[in-house]
Amino acid sequence: MNFQAKLIIAAMGLAALPLAQAQDFEDFGRVVRVQPRMEEIRMPRQECRTEYVQVPVQQQRGVGGGIVGGVVGGLLGNQIGSGSGRVAATAAGAIAGAMVGDRAENNRPQGPAVQEQAVRQCRTVDAIETRTNGYDVTYEFRGQTYTTLMNRDPGNRVRLRVSVQPIDY
């Protein structure tokens, strides 16, 4: 072999030396078991419902009885009196008639006036949500079993970065 060929072979050997001593390489391990890590998260939320309740209502006073009573009382008072006493009797009859008519209309026994009203009632309850918080993956590589936590399920095999380091005695 000539000198130039020997020089090329030596240079290639020196260039390949770092590759032969590579400390990291990739390989695959066989997945034995995948166990998801579950986490329960409590999230408060509002639960509301509508109930219908009976509430008392203030009754309105009527004015019709007082008006009719006043007119009738005034007419009757006008019939009783004579002369200047007729005006006084008409006025007294109108007042008395208005009072009697008002009492007749507004003092009738009536049941309690109630009205149905919608009432919304709310309360806070805890909703529990379950989430996956990673996966405990057990795998085999070259006769050894390893377990690690991963963000996703790797499937049947896991990609590994193998690091080789000399032991210093």
pLDDT in tens, 69-111: 666 666 666 677 676 777 666 677 667 777 777 777 667 666 6
Tokens of 123: 């309360």
Specify the pTM. 0.42
Of the ranges 85-89, 127-131, 140-144, the best mean pLDDT one: 140-144
Given a cut of 80, whether residue 142 has pLDDT beyond it is yes
Q: How many CA atoms lie within 13 A of 89 on its CB side?
A: 12
Share of the chain above pLDDT 70, in %: 65
In the chain, count of helices (H) and strands (E)? 3, 4
> Residues 3-9: what's their mean pLDDT?
67
pLDDT at 163: 87
Say if residue 152's pLDDT is above 70: yes
Tell me the Ramachandran region of residue 6: left when phi exceeds 0, alpha when psi lies from -120 to 50, beta otherwise. Answer: alpha
Rounded to an integer, the average pLDDT of 125-144 is: 92
